[in-house]
Amino acid sequence: MKTQQDLWEIVPELVEVEKHLEEIIFSRAEYLPPVDSFLMERKGKKLRPALFLASARVHGNNLQNLIPLAVGMELIHTATLIHDDVVDNARMRRNMPTINYSQGNKMAILLGDYFFARAFTILTAYGRIEIIDLMTNVVEEMSLGELQQQRDTFNTSLTESDYLGKIKQKTALFIASCCLSGCLTASTTSEIEAAFYNYGLNLGMAFQIIDDVLDFYGKEKNTGKESCSDIKNGIITLPVIRTLQLSTKKEELYTCLNRGKLDEMEITLILKEIKSQGGLQYSIKTAEEYIVRALSYLNKIPSGEVVQNLKAIAQFVLARVY
Amino acid sequence: MKTQQDLWEIVPELVEVEKHLEEIIFSRAEYLPPVDSFLMERKGKKLRPALFLASARVHGNNLQNLIPLAVGMELIHTATLIHDDVVDNARMRRNMPTINYSQGNKMAILLGDYFFARAFTILTAYGRIEIIDLMTNVVEEMSLGELQQQRDTFNTSLTESDYLGKIKQKTALFIASCCLSGCLTASTTSEIEAAFYNYGLNLGMAFQIIDDVLDFYGKEKNTGKESCSDIKNGIITLPVIRTLQLSTKKEELYTCLNRGKLDEMEITLILKEIKSQGGLQYSIKTAEEYIVRALSYLNKIPSGEVVQNLKAIAQFVLARVY
């Protein structure tokens, strides 16, 4: 399995991003709950700043000035994770206790708000209205996607198309907007901008599908999260949707899910059915198709280091599942 | 007691603000929990958009273009209230159930996030970096203020100066920034900008002190919130700080508060002590001093309709307590 290190090899500036994040935490330490371990030890993948910086390399942009923007994007992502963990009652992330679990829901809500605001202060300081606009839209769509997900828990009539619409809103738009923002910091053409955006959009779809697959069969050690947390929370993802389409035990599965709460035996039943119906393989295949589509947009970008890096990041996203 | 209507007489454009807010809710109704009643029936005071619009009237600005900015400011405030109600486990606001009480904490967190993001999308569309910057700073400071408040619950060593610092961060900076933003939409001098800002800052201090006084003796019918919710949550406000300074029952009060939880009898004891030590009168006097200071800054603004309106708004803020 590819590790975090690979992404840092592709985009070495992530070391600077990490340093800036630490400074942000330390500069307000007297106000914040003891969260240093959250950001220091639990360094995330930093996929979003990596994509932003890799895209910004187009036309030989100076990346040094762009580190704060990359930090802003990672802070938006961090804020989202902190709030999502409250919403999902998650107890573990990145192999450590979540903020809500260790510090309580109140602290987690306020800390998420602080990180959102800090992120936008940083983006605003850069002064490019288009980038601020992209990012406020991202947060809007992510929260609408999450609201919809909450409304749709244990909803067995969810279709594949509903699911794809939701993950676009929840994940892919953010990733697309990081790529586009990177490209916007250089002067380029609207055709190239569209290529970056569509690369990111398709990559983001693949990334979320793989995340949803890993929720079922990823080992906690590797994902850093509890297993099967989606289905426990009633969040119906692609492997389940596919299984409900094909399974001969459809009625039994519907009955479990429609009760709105699952016990251990029911989860075991669902996992068995997903396995026998090939729900995970189907999802991985779908993710691979999105990766192929993402890569096809790279043909429109002048080849060179940037394209090589974006190809490598796409491989990194896919490699998480193997 | 002055009612909401008074503010709407001073700034009739608040009707438009109300209409825009309704449109924002309805346009995304399929995603949102049934919150229409929250914003439709529970119209708030709209102090922040009122101050923004009243300040923007300086130099005969066209207010029509500024309605969306006013809506953005009210949405930031609404998002804050929704999250604060989760943090405080509040069950009632504006005489109706809170979102967390009626729809659950998860929905309240996500809805707050959505309103924050929508607000910043609206502010970004107007395109003035200075105003976006002011408002991201406001949200940052507000969440730091709230984090500090959580850390300081039942902290009996809190001084008057700690309290004043916290309410500046939590409330006064937002109100000052609304006034300054209004002024920034017109072309004026930096001296006049400072006058608007300082008027707002002092008014905001008075507003929060009065809010904290009303928490003790306001009737639920009038405040729309549960009585004594601050002290029940361990939030130490000015009337308590003053009482702890003067009371001969200091030790008894410390013992209650230091336990970190209060029963009905203990709350009655604290209320009695606040009454006998004049804690509320002292707080009201402090608020009045801030109002006097706020009004003094109006001398630096060319007199006319704007100054008359800002004077009337200051009277409105003070009148809530009588």
For A71-125, what is each residue's pLDDT tens digit?
A: 999 999 999 999 999 988 888 887 788 888 888 899 999 999 999 999 999 999 9
Give pLDDT tens digits for B256-292.
898 888 999 999 999 999 999 999 999 999 999 999 9
Compute the distance between CA of residue B295 and CA of residue B275 in angstroms, rounded to an integer. Answer: 29
Per-residue pLDDT reduced to its tens digit, A225-279: 778 889 999 999 999 999 999 999 889 999 989 888 899 999 999 999 999 999 9
Helix, strand or coil, per DSSP, at residue B262: coil
Interfacial B residues in 160-199 facing A (CB < 8 Å): none
Short-list B322, B288, B294, B314, CA closest to B51: B314
Residue A1 pLDDT greater than 50, yes or no: no
CA distances from B256 to B155, B157, B238 (A): 11, 14, 18
Closest-CA residue of chain A to B146: A110
A267 at the B interface (CB within 8 A)?
no
Q: Is B269 on the interface with A (CB under 8 A)?
A: no
> What's the pLDDT score for residue A314?
95
Q: DSSP secondary-structure letter at A66?
A: G
Query: What's the mean pLDDT in B56-60?
Result: 81
CB contact under 8 A, A109 and B86: yes
> Mind listing the pLDDT tens digit for each residue in B169-199?
999 999 999 999 999 998 889 999 999 999 9
Q: Write out the two tokens for B257.
A: 């508060």
pLDDT exceeds cutoff 70 at A41:
no
Domain with A102, as residue range(s), is 4-319
Our CA angle for B165, B141, B93, nearest 5°, is: 90
Q: Do B109 and A117 touch (CB under 8 A)?
A: no
pLDDT band at residue B109 under the 50/70/90 scheme: very high
Q: What rounded mean pLDDT belongs to chain B?
A: 90
B32 and chain A: CB distance < 8 Å anywhere? yes
Tokens of A288: 């691979």
Amino acid letter, residue B167: I
Kindly identify which residue of chain B lies nearest to residue A28, measuring between CA atoms.
Answer: B144
Nearest to A146 among B110, B132, B144 (CB): B110
* pLDDT exceeds 80 at position A60: no
Q: Tell me the average pLDDT across B70-85.
A: 95
User: Which CATH number characterizes residue A44's domain?
Assistant: 1.10.600.10
Residues of B in contact with A83 (CB under 8 A): 109-110, 113
Average pLDDT over all residues of chain A: 90
Angle, CA of B266, B269 and B274, to the nearest 5°: 125
Q: Is the pLDDT of residue B2 over 60?
A: no
Average pLDDT over residues B303-321: 90
Give the pLDDT mean for A163-188.
Answer: 95
Please name the residue of chain B whose CA is at the shortest distance from the CA of residue A83.
Answer: B109
Residue A40 has pLDDT above 60, yes or no: no
Q: How far apart are CA B111 and CA B113, in angstroms?
A: 5
Give pLDDT, residue B1: 44
What pLDDT sits at residue A104? Answer: 87
- When pLDDT is averaged across residues A135-151 and rounded to a whole number, the result is 95
For the cut 50, the answer to whether the pLDDT of residue B239 exceeds it is yes
Number of domains in chain B: 1
Q: What is the pLDDT of residues A274-287, one digit of tens each?
A: 999 999 999 999 99
Q: Which amino acid is at A125?
A: A
pLDDT at A35 over 70: no
Q: Does the pLDDT of residue B36 top 60, yes or no?
A: no
pLDDT in the model for residue B225: 74
- Report pLDDT for A37: 58
pTM reported for the whole predicted model: 0.93
Residue A214 is which amino acid? L
Nearest by CB to residue B147, choosing from A110, A129, A150, is: A110
Q: What percent of chain A has pLDDT over 70?
A: 93
Please give the residue of chain B at the shortest CA–CA distance from A146.
Answer: B110
- pLDDT given at position B303: 75
Tens of pLDDT, residue by residue over A167-176, are 999 999 999 9
HSE toward the beta carbon, residue A42, CA cutoff 13 A? 20
Higher pLDDT, B44 or B55: B55
Taking an 8 Å cut-off on Cβ atoms, the answer to whether A32 and B147 are in contact is yes
